[in-house]
Amino acid sequence: MYTTSRAAMSASSQQTNPSIASRAVKEGDPRPPASALPATLLARVHSVRPIAEGVVSIALRPASPDVGFPAFTAGSHIDLHLPNGMVRSYSIHSSSGESGQYSIGVLRDRSSRGGSSWIHSHLKTGDTIRISKPRNNFALDESAQRSVFIAGGIGITPLLSMIHRLRQLGRNAHILYCARARTQSPLLDALLEMAGDQLTVQCHFSDEARSNADIKAFLSGFAAADHFYCCGPSPMLDAFEAACEALGLPHIHVERFRAAEHGEQPAAGGQCVVELARSGRSLTIRRDKPLLKFLLEAEVEIEYSCEEGVCGACETRILAGEADHRDSVLSKSQKASNSAMMPCVSRCRSDRLVLDL
């Protein structure tokens, strides 16, 4: 079985913010009706603390006693709804056993368009901010006897939460933690504190080694039955996937911060009919554009966030018909089954598509 995790994001460089999903308000965007906006929770910033050069850990707690933070599973992320209209997603690095608090890591992206730079410049202890409920597209397979992780810089955040969970389960794990320098290694101390019989930690700092980590050599010490997880910059993810394929390691899970390239042919032109089963409505739309645009124009209630096919917020069940999948969330087999789609980037392939909306 070839398992590709349905989630996480990776960055194009270690300076890239790991925001899983990011949606900036763009001029000319069709604005969603109020009913389309996702339900949010009001959180208070409990603490902001530096955890590496250009990286802060932000602990969020309910803003008032009537706000409940739902439990989350290891690998989850939340969206931050910033006052400047942007929505940015960040992985939770704290233990899923810790209730009433979500801790996230935020890297100040050198090419930030106002997301991570706003957070670093403005967000402080005591502030309130709207957040989404946790969502998990990068789930830990808790049945695996041994789990192997490769983290690139800020990519450690969801993996640390997974390692917490494996410790609770008494399972063995190994991690290769790569960064440009020790000073640019968020949560390294927290990781090293957990090292022991159940967890082996191998670090690779490019400035000390004067080379990049040999991912294939690291992976070659493990077995096909193990589960392998990688979160980091895109070149690292590409190297990880290539190494796993070459070594015949089938259980791989990656999280992408940015959408993967799609080399497929453009969708067929013409129109198709989209039936919305719950409301009984029917829309005749173009086949060469992502479905979300038409759903928002028709004021259909649907959650969305990144609009890049990476966060999973807009996942919609398909009841009949075939989608032209363009996302980086669903695995190959999930796409082939046509049981769900990400309408923010995916389109209609069949003449008729019935959705659970």
* Interaction site with ligand FES (CB under 6 A): 21, 304-307, 309-314, 327, 329, 342, 344
Q: Which is nearer to ligand FES, 57 or 116 (CB)?
A: 116
Name beta bridge partners: 23: 87
Q: Is 46 exposed, middle or buried (0-12, 13-18, 19+ CB in 10 A)?
A: middle
Q: How far is the CB of 256 from ligand FES (least distance, A)?
A: 11
Give CA–CA dist 139/216, Å, rounded: 23
What secondary structure letter does DSSP report for 97?
A: T
Q: Which is nearer to ligand FES, 293 or 349 (CB)?
A: 293
Q: Which is nearer to ligand FES, 226 or 307 (CB)?
A: 307
Q: How far is the CB of 312 from ligand FES (least distance, A)?
A: 5
Q: How far is the CB of 188 from ligand FES (least distance, A)?
A: 30
CB atoms within 10 A of CB 81: 20
Q: How far is the CB of 119 from ligand FES (least distance, A)?
A: 19
Q: Which is nearer to ligand FES, 226 or 324 (CB)?
A: 324
Q: How far is the CB of 323 from ligand FES (least distance, A)?
A: 13
Q: Which letter, b or e, does each residue of 111-132 get, where b requires 16 or more Cβ atoms within 10 Å of its Cβ?
A: ebebbbebbbeebeeeeebbbb
Residue the block writes with tokens 């008729």: 352
Name beta bridge partners: 217: none
Q: Which is nearer to ligand FES, 342 or 348 (CB)?
A: 342
Residue 120 CA to chain centroid, in angstroms?
20
